């Protein structure tokens, strides 16, 4: 893949190359926010992936200034390592100012509602608000009360759009294409926003998706999303090119959805024996954090030939750079920012 570095750097152009070379523009992300994959179209997704692919090819220490003057707030109501750090790093690499709102020590702990928090933060004129929240629909709600563009960094069981985008970029860079691939998403589908966003995105890009899950961890309507459903992992893995594993999300479970972890691993944990039923070069993905010995054997988690898990983390930064840029240039002109 050859990349024109000068176009990524914005050199020799009076305007950021995104606008010059790409039809995506201000209206391509609905309502100027990135709340989910549902509602995005294939050209928009492809544009984001193409742009992130350019960022991914830049030297690790490259510092850009595309988002100079833009202020990004991150506000995480749930724990996060990779997503939060990756948004923070992406924004700084693009030259934006970043404020990580400290939820644990803020007034939110004193019982302030999400809306009151939103209105307070909005008064400080952030351009982009990146939020993770335990309630599905929280980022949509937030977007109705702020002038800033909102990026959903995971809302309850609903969506996690940048995770799905980074997964797609990881696959594209390793395999070369997504159309026609057989992709198995395995494990706790019911509680997973990653699964929902990936099902939307990979279907839009033409992959064949199957989900492999115990009956207690899969929503009954899942096949309406155009996926094949398997409860037997050995059967479901046959003919797959990518095996995407999900964490058992105990914090969102109601009660006894799973047997013991040992029993879960026996039936749904990926081992080398089970992987041998997939296509010979099948690749492994996991959004993290992963539980070794529960959804994946430790040996496979460390298999550098088959596992894309580290590459996924790496692509997270590039994807978030592209998303921040797309939203920033969908905002009003700098001198009118937040003055609507
Ligand atoms: C996922 C999330 O938070 O939805 N993790 C992530 O963003 N890397 C998946 C999970 O928590 O299991």
DSSP-based three-state secondary structure for 292: strand
pLDDT in tens, 181-209: 999 999 999 999 999 999 999 999 999 99
Instruction: Please check whether residues 9 and 153 belong to one and the same domain.
Output: yes
The CATH number assigned to the domain holding 66 equals: 3.40.50.1370
Reported confidence tier of residue 110, pLDDT bands at 50, 70, 90: low
Instruction: Please check whether residues 292 and 327 belong to one and the same domain.
Output: no
- pLDDT higher at 337 or 85: 85
Instruction: Please check whether residues 74 and 193 belong to one and the same domain.
Output: no
Calculate how far, in angstroms, residue 193's C-alpha sits from the geometric centre of ligand 1. Answer: 8
Instruction: Please check whether residues 46 and 135 belong to one and the same domain.
Output: yes
Q: Do the strands 283-285 and 242-245 form a parallel or antiparallel pair, or are they unpaired?
A: parallel
Within 10 A of 77 (CB to CB), how many other CB atoms are there? 20
Per the document, the length of the chain is 340
Q: Is 71 in the pocket of ligand 1 (CB under 6 A)?
A: no
- Into how many domains does the chain fold? 2
Reported confidence tier of residue 311, pLDDT bands at 50, 70, 90: very high
Q: What's the average model confidence in pLDDT over 51-74?
A: 94
**What is the model's pLDDT at position 29?**
54
- pLDDT higher at 112 or 215: 215
Instruction: Please check whether residues 274 and 223 belong to one and the same domain.
Output: yes
Instruction: Please check whether residues 71 and 105 belong to one and the same domain.
Output: yes
Candidates 214, 227, 219; CA nearest to 182 is 227
Reported confidence tier of residue 102, pLDDT bands at 50, 70, 90: confident
Q: Is 320 in the pocket of ligand 1 (CB under 6 A)?
A: no
Instruction: Please check whether residues 181 and 226 belong to one and the same domain.
Output: yes
Best mutation site among 133, 134, 138, 154 for ligand 1 pocket (most ligand atoms within 8 Å of CB): 154
Show the tokens assigned to 101: 């709102």
Instruction: Please check whether residues 259 and 148 belong to one and the same domain.
Output: no
**What is the model's pLDDT at position 31?**
54
Residue 299 has pLDDT above 70, yes or no: yes
Q: How far apart are CA 323 and CA 33, in angstroms?
A: 10
Q: Is 252 in the pocket of ligand 1 (CB under 6 A)?
A: no
Instruction: Please check whether residues 25 and 136 belong to one and the same domain.
Output: yes
Instruction: Please check whether residues 17 and 148 belong to one and the same domain.
Output: yes
pLDDT in tens, 64-101: 999 999 999 999 999 898 999 999 999 999 999 999 99
Best mutation site among 76, 83, 295 for ligand 1 pocket (most ligand atoms within 8 Å of CB): 83
Calculate how far, in angstroms, residue 160's C-alpha sits from the geometric centre of ligand 1. Answer: 8
Residue 246 has pLDDT above 70, yes or no: yes
Instruction: Please check whether residues 141 and 182 belong to one and the same domain.
Output: no
Cβ contacts of residue 259 below 8 Å, gap of 6+? none
pLDDT-above-70 percentage for the chain? 85
Cβ contacts of residue 290 below 8 Å, gap of 6+? 245, 247, 296, 301, 309
**What is the model's pLDDT at position 113?**
84
Give the HSE-up count for residue 218: Cα atoms under 13 Å, Cβ half-sphere. 21
Instruction: Please check whether residues 321 and 231 belong to one and the same domain.
Output: no
**What is the model's pLDDT at position 58?**
95
**What is the model's pLDDT at position 261?**
87
Give the chain's end-to-end CA distance (angstroms, integer): 42
What does 64-98 look like in DSSP terms, one character per residue? --TTTT-EEEEEESS--SHHHHHHHHHHHHTT-EE
Domain of residue 222, residue span? 161-311
Mean pLDDT (the chain) is 87
**Prior bond of 223 cis (ω within 30°):** no
Cβ contacts of residue 37 below 8 Å, gap of 6+? 45, 159, 161, 164, 165, 197, 200, 201, 204
Residue 10 has pLDDT above 50, yes or no: no
């Amino acid at each position: 893949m050859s990349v024109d570095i000068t176009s990524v750097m914005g050199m020799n152009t009076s305007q950021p190359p995104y606008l010059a070379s790409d039809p995506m523009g201000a209206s391509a992300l609905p309502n100027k926010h990135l709340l989910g994959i549902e509602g995005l179209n294939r050209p928009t997704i492809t544009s984001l992936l193409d742009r992130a692919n350019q960022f991914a090819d830049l030297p690790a220490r490259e510092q850009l200034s595309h988002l100079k003057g833009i202020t990004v707030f991150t506000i995480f109501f749930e724990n996060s390592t990779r997503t939060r750090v990756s948004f923070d790093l992406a924004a700084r690499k693009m030259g934006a100012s970043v404020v990580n709102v400290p939820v644990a020590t803020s007034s939110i702990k004193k019982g302030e509602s999400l809306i009151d928090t939103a209105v307070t933060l909005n008064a400080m004129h952030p351009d982009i608000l990146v939020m993770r929240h335990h309630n599905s629909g929280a980022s949509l709600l937030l977007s109705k009360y702020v002038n800033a563009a909102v990026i959903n960094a995971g809302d309850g069981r609903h969506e996690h759009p940048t995770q799905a985008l980074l997964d797609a970029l990881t696959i594209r860079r390793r395999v070369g294409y997504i159309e026609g691939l057989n992709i198995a998403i395995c494990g706790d589908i019911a509680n997973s926003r990653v699964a929902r966003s990936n099902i939307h995105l990979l279907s839009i890009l033409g992959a064949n998706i199957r989900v492999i899950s115990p009956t207690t961890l899969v929503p009954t309507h899942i096949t309406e999303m155009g996926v094949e459903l398997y409860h037997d992992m050995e059967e479901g893995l046959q003919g797959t090119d990518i095996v995407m594993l999900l964490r058992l999300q105990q914090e969102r479970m109601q009660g006894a959805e799973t047997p013991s972890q040992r029993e879960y691993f026996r039936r749904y944990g990926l081992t080398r024996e089970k992987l041998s039923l997939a296509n010979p070069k099948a690749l492994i993905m996991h959004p993290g954090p992963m539980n070794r010995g529960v959804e994946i054997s430790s040996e496979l988690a460390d298999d550098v030939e088959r596992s894309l898990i580290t590459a996924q983390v790496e692509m997270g930064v590039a994807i978030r750079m592209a998303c921040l840029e797309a939203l920033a240039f969908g905002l009003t002109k700098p001198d009118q920012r937040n003055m609507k």
